[in-house]
Amino acid sequence: MKKFKILVVDDERIVRESLYHWFEEEGYDVETAEDALIALKKFDVGKYDLALLDMRMPGMSGLELLAKIKEIDSDCIVILITAFASVPSAIQALKQGAYDYVTKPVDPDELNHLVKNALDQKVLKEENYRLKSSFEEMIIPDNLVGESEEMKKIFELISTVAPTDTTVMIRGESGTGKELVAKAIHLNSKRKYFPIVTVNCGALAETLLESELFGHEKGSFTGAHHRRKGKFEMANGGTIFLDEIGSISTKMQIELLRVIETKKFNRVGGNDVISSDFRVIAATNERLEDMVKEGKFREDLFYRLNVFTLVIPPLRERKKDIPVLANYFLNKFCTAMNKGIKGISEEAMDFLSEYSWYGNVRELENAIERAVVVGKGSQIKISDLPFGSSPPETIKNQNLSLSDIEKEYIEKTLIKNDWNISRSAEILGIDRVTLYNKIGKYGLKKS
């Protein structure tokens, strides 16, 4: 813990010594000076967190010394001590930057409480400045937008874990922006000059996934006309992002565990051992803990991946971000389509803010894109949104599990689009193969 430095400046020896012993016993690093000139010489040598100044001293007064200290170190907290308190002098002291003032004879408990509060505020101010600076210095992908406390926490966690090589598990519903968070971690890491390689584990059959991850040798299977590097090899020096990690087979889980632990592997059909230096970031919208209990996901792989967990809250739990995101997407699509729409009407924004967004940011982005396409006036109206003018349907049972919510949302999207797989996959923000896998997983059938 930091030991705060305090400078006591008073021409009365007994006051200096009393304050010195009081604050030394409280655990502070205390120094004293008998006049302003000696105090200024001490400031030339080092910095102080707080200074206690006598108002009236021979030569330079406490007020004059206050002004000099603020010129040298504006962050130093100054408390004035006076035997002749008056309203004008107090106002002048506060105007010149004094934190507060106390009168003699000094009550040690009162002064100690005042000093502690002042230093606590200084620590909080420095911490806020540090966090603000770290956020400003962070490289954030364009679509990762938000001003809510939940998103500020996500940005803070990104800034914490990014500089390390720690394996990260990103959890959240479909459409919350897990891949964007993975990119933000990579872009703020020491690996940022190397690639981030994305693998959608849910979109590939087991045999294709094996070749995709590890590569293959020429002639290793039908259609393997050339040697091909796998994703782990491509990610050498950088990051591999394993999306939908909960969908991989038990056999692939064993292979994956071995590669993550050893950083070595063989191409399909090859004997050469290939080494690769990569960082792993995985993502899932599944409850892997339940899958471990059910024997569908290996416990050792789960613990290997779940070193640092980052949970992205759904959009309906951070509604403060909806107007920010809506306006961001509006500007993005208006620029891309050369449309002159200037904003979103108050009624449409209220409508967007009250919607449940079970497709999260991806669903909102698609809704704004559609509105920009059909919008005619200077503002987006409710009728421009894909929901029409009637209130959007929400999922009635709020106690559903994440899988139940996903199943119901996918089913509603399929029905709404007359089971057009391509259009439904586009709205859901997933590829056709993944959608077919989800349909099979939840046993969905066209009625």
Q: What is the tens place of the pLDDT at every residue in 237-292?
A: 999 999 999 999 999 999 999 999 999 998 888 888 999 999 999 999 889 999 99
Distances (CA, A) of 355 to 200, 323, 348, 375, 393: 29, 12, 11, 20, 8
- Interacting residues of 201 by C-beta distance below 8 A, sequence separation 6+: 209, 242, 243, 244, 245, 247, 248
Strands (E), 163-249: 168-171, 196-200, 215-216, 228-229, 239-243
Share the mean pLDDT of the chain: 86
Q: What is the tens place of the pLDDT at every residue in 71-88?
A: 999 889 999 888 766 666
User: Residue 427: how many CB atoms within 10 A of its CB?
Assistant: 20
- What pLDDT score does 442 carry? 82
What pTM, to 2 d.p., does this model score? 0.60
Q: What is the tens place of the pLDDT at every residue in 371-422?
A: 999 888 889 998 888 875 444 454 445 555 656 777 887 888 888 888 888 8
Domains of the chain (ranges plus CATH)? 5-130 (3.40.50.2300), 149-311 (3.40.50.300), 315-390 (1.10.8.60), 395-447 (1.10.10.60)
Provide the 8-state DSSP code for 391. P
- What pLDDT score does 42 carry? 92
Residue 32 dihedral angles phi and psi, to the nearest 5°: -130, 160
Higher-pLDDT residue of 259 and 108 is 259
